[in-house]
Amino acid sequence: MKRRILAWALALAAAAALTGCGRDEAASGPEADGGEIEENPFDYEKPPEVLGSVSHSGAWPGREEGRALEYSGGELSVPYRASGDGTGKNVGFLLFIDGAPQPYKLDGEGEYSYMHTFSLREDNVQEEFTFDFVPVTGQAGETATFVVADIFNAEFEPDMVSSSGFGLYGGSVATVNYIHFAADPERTVEAEPLEALKAVTVTNELMTAEFIEENLGPDTGMTTGDGKTREDRLEESVFLFDTYDGQRELNGIDVTGKSTLHAAADICGIPGETYRISMFADNVPLSDGADCFWEVTLEKGKRARVEADIDLGMLTDDVTTFYITACAVGDWNGAGARGDELIKTGSLPIWSRDSVSSDKAPGGEESPAGVLDTPEAMDETVRAVYYGGGDRVLVRRTDGLIVCDMKSGEVLARGALPELSGAVYCPVEGGYCALGETQAGGSAELVAADAAGEKKTVCVFLSDTLEETDRVCLSDIAGEGKNILAAAVSPGGEYIAYSVMDEGVYLLKRGGGAELILDLEGRPGGLWIVTGLWFDGDSSRLIFADNSHYGSVGLDGGDFVCAGFDGFEPQGAVGCAGGKVFFNESFFVSSGAMAVAEVEGMTGVIYNHTPQEGRGDLHVSRDGEYFATTAFDGSLIVRVYGTQDDRLCLEYTVTDENADIFSAAPGVLILDDLKICILKLGGFSDVPARVLVLPME
């Protein structure tokens, strides 16, 4: 079994959720989940993108039957194996014996180190190697736990210039093993912890109401899903929380002007479990001159805390990777399936502006190179940006809608938000159209309305001053119980097309009735459903697509053409402009291909990029002359290509102190005439938006 690094088609993850696969084998790769606050009802759901995975386990005889390793003196050689793909092929391992960090050599060569990193040579090909060490603890007659924890993409470290956080990297899951000691270890100095801790204290105190609310309260998801209370979870699992100078840090720790950093680890959960807590800098445990781990035993209703001052003068690198581990001690009574035998906090960079150029460091006052001025109205309140026709964009903000001229930066119109949920916007002659669903009240009312079929798909027409001029209810026209999958409005605003599950595509002339112009009975051209609809430039034809086909049909239902692909497995159409339909690659294929289909002539071209781009989001320019890809690698990489020749026209890397800004998919617009790429990050929940305007070519 493998755990994989995932990025949902409509979301880039920043938070990792890791679980183990039991005692016998571990597999890791963070999972990302999230998305725009308003769901687009006309987008179909796409499977998550797999960026990499790694799995590992012991390889000694009898390992699958739970046989312990036997130590009889000297250096112990432990056979081990691992396989991976994507970014998961770069891996490092930490070892613990009874919770104590254990230095080792890899394949009996080189120097002892607390972590060795290496790259697996081929995708999903199991490789074997050995850990070689003299145990740091244990004595004859004892059986000790032996934990092996992987670090996902271990060689990655932010430089605070091109990247400012670990993002999806640095996660860890572990295998649980045992060593039986037939002899006392002959201990020698193999590797030294870094003596950088002062004033270490260990306490066990009652959990305060504030601590419970902040770490275990309803907003943390502790009480959702399976109905278990937080008290239930504290009886079944163990939780580790870290703070720095009293603050929770999610992305990095800026220590500019400081000589020490106060780090604290709070651990709570299953009563009676014993853990050993260690702090690591650049994968080396920190000590106070005497110890490099501290033992705590969990008690009901209490939190154990280990805290210390880190002497920053002992950290010699410009950027230091820091994390805390909690490794369980003892037999654990079958707890191997819990996944909390080894808990690791998220990796964080410790850095100072004194050692990183201020104009490039996160939060620096100067604009990044290659970024144009962003109109003042496109500020942190932005929630989404849409094409507005010509050089204009329509911007949805928390306080309403605005139309902004991207050439002058001038706001041309302001208006109220239509009372719709999941609305998307498009330009039409004389104004704009919003496609969405009628909005109920609170979340409970929304659920009830949805269950009762009371939410309806509507088109709301707005003037160029953003005043509502007309409203067309497609659900009423389609009939009760009909599932509308996609909709489109003609550039002139006189026609609306919509597809109905199991029926086909209807054309509605405003003020008249709807006619079925594409009947799916008999599956013409292999079509089962229609999930994408667009009018061509002169509104003489309707372009359509499902997950693997594209084509067009006349507004009178004639001249139907449809085609699929040869040698390309599409995931589905992501957009249409300039008579071209753009497809990304199937989730189950990892070649990095994408397709641009010309509806005129029914021809297509396949472009091959990196696997991450080929399976990720594609964004289509206003006129179809360009397309953009986004990739997340600890920071966000945006690339824009020419449609005709796949020529790279822009590559830009975005970093940000606030890792939450990457927790949802970015918005990307490209204005062909102005040759600019507009990038919207954040702008959901309480995460402020950040809008960049990037020049191309």
- Per DSSP, the residues of 22-72 read -SS-EEE--B-----SS--TTSPP-PPEEEEEEEEEE-STTGGGTPPEEE-
Is residue 158 classed as helix, strand or coil in its secondary structure?
A: coil
For residue 201, count CB atoms less than 10 angstroms from its CB and return exposed for 0-12, middle for 13-18, buried for 19 or more: exposed
259-263, 405-409, 535-539, 635-639: lowest mean pLDDT where?
635-639
Residue 341's pLDDT is 86
Tell me the pLDDT band of 592, cut-offs 50, 70 and 90. confident
In this model, does residue 250 exceed pLDDT 80? no
Residue 33 pLDDT: 32
At residue 173, does pLDDT exceed 60? yes
Of 525, 565, 558, 520, nearest in space to 542 by CA: 558
Do 53 and 29 form a contact (C-beta atoms < 8 A)? yes
Task: Using alpha carbons, select from 230, 234, 218 the residue that is nearest to residue 270.
Answer: 234
Task: Output the six-digit token pair for 299.
Answer: 């008690």
Q: Distance between CA 353 and CA 311 in Å, rounded?
A: 17
Pick the residue with more confidence: 368 or 25? Answer: 25
Cβ–Cβ under 8 Å, residues 658 and 186: no
Q: What pLDDT, on the 0 to 100 scale, is given for residue 159?
A: 75
Indicate the SS3 state at residue 61.
coil
DSSP bridge pairs for 395: 385, 402
DSSP 64: G
pLDDT (mean) for 557-576: 90
Which of these ranges, 345-354, 363-372, 554-563, has the smallest mean pLDDT? 363-372
* d(C-alpha 110, C-alpha 126), whole Å: 23
Confidence of residue 613 (pLDDT cuts 50, 70, 90): low
Residues 358-410 have pLDDT tens digits of 444 444 434 455 678 889 899 999 999 999 999 999 999 999 999 999 989 89
Tell me what pLDDT residue 360 has. 43
Please state, for a pLDDT cut of 90, what percent of the chain lies above it: 55
Q: 99, 89 in Cβ contact below 8 A?
A: no
Percentage of the chain surpassing pLDDT 70? Answer: 83
pLDDT, tens digit, 9 for 90 and up, residues 400-439: 999 999 989 899 999 999 989 889 999 999 999 999 998 6
CA distance 522 to 503: 10
Question: Does residue 30 surpass a pLDDT of 60?
Answer: no
- In which order are the strands placed within the sheet that holds 197-206? 197-206, 302-311, 260-269, 238-244
Cα dihedral 21, 281, 248, 664, rounded to 10, equals: -60
Q: Which amino acid is at 19?
A: T
Give me the pLDDT at residue 676, please. 94
Least confident of 60-69, 393-402, 464-473: 60-69
Topology of domain 1-191 in CATH is Immunoglobulin-like (2.60.40)
Q: N- to C-terminal Cα distance for the chain?
A: 45
Query: Lowest mean pLDDT: which of 155-159, 442-446, 470-474?
Result: 442-446
3-state DSSP helix/strand/coil percent for the chain, to nearest 5? 10, 45, 45
Residue 28 CA to residue 4 CA, distance in Å, equals 6
Do 429 and 469 touch, CB atoms closer than 8 A? Answer: no
Residue 331: per-residue pLDDT = 63
pLDDT, average across residues 590-611:
84
The pLDDT value recorded for residue 214 is 82
Structure token digits, residue 275 = 């853990």
Q: Rounded to whole angstroms, what are the CA distances from 203 to 234, 264, 280, 305? A: 19, 11, 20, 5
What is the Cα–Cα distance from 112 to 191, expressed in whole angstroms? Answer: 6
Best-predicted range by mean pLDDT (293-297, 519-523, 594-598, 693-697): 293-297
Backbone angles phi, psi at 483, to 5 degrees: -100, 105
Write down the pLDDT at residue 166: 81
Q: What is the rounded CA–CA span in Å between residue 592 and residue 577?
A: 22
Measured CA to CA in angstroms, residue 131 lies from 77, 96, 105, 502, 606 at distances of 6, 12, 6, 59, 45
44-54 confidence digits (pLDDT tens): 333 444 557 88
Instruction: Choose from 333-342, 552-561, 634-643 the range with maximum mean pLDDT.
Output: 552-561
User: Predicted confidence band at 218 (pLDDT cuts at 50, 70, 90)?
Assistant: low
pLDDT, averaged across the chain: 83
Residue at 66: amino acid letter = G
Which of 602, 615, 625, 609 has its CA nearest to residue 671? Answer: 625
Higher pLDDT, 234 or 446: 234
Q: What is the dihedral of CA 549, 551, 553, 559, to 10 degrees?
A: -110
pTM of the predicted structure, to 2 decimals: 0.56
**Given a cut of 50, is residue 443 above it in pLDDT?**
no
Distance of CA 415 to the CA centre of its chain: 33
Look at 16-25, 604-613, 663-672 and tell me which has the smallest mean pLDDT. 16-25
In this prediction, residues 491-511 reach a mean pLDDT of: 94
Q: Span 91-102, mean pLDDT?
A: 95
Question: What angle (nearest 5°) sits at the alpha carbon of residue 382, between those of residues 381 and 384?
Answer: 155
Mean pLDDT lowest among 24-33, 164-173, 568-577:
24-33
CA distance 637 to 648: 13
Domain 193-363 has CATH 3.30.70.100: no
Report how many helices (DSSP H) and strands (DSSP E) the chain contains, helices first.
5, 52
Q: Give the tokens for residue 355.
A: 């050692």
Q: How does residue 28 score in pLDDT terms, banded at 50, 70 and 90?
A: low
Q: Rounded to an integer, what distance in angstroms lies between the CA atom of residue 400 and that of residue 247?
A: 34
Kindly give, in sequence order, each residue whose CB lies less than 8 Å from that of residue 243, ignoring residues fewer than 6 positions away: 249, 263, 264, 266
- Give CA–CA dist 296/326, Å, rounded: 10
3-class secondary-structure state, position 477: helix
- In the chain, CATH 2.60.40.2550 sits at 1-191
- The answer for 453, left when phi > 0, alpha when psi is -120 to 50, beta otherwise, is left
Please, where in the chain does CATH 2.60.40.10 lie? 193-363
**Separation CA 264–CA 211 (nearest Å):** 13
- The whole-angstrom separation of Cα 588 and Cα 47 is 9
For residue 452, pLDDT beyond 50:
no
Q: Quote the CA–CA distance of 294 and 203 in Å, as a whole number.
A: 11
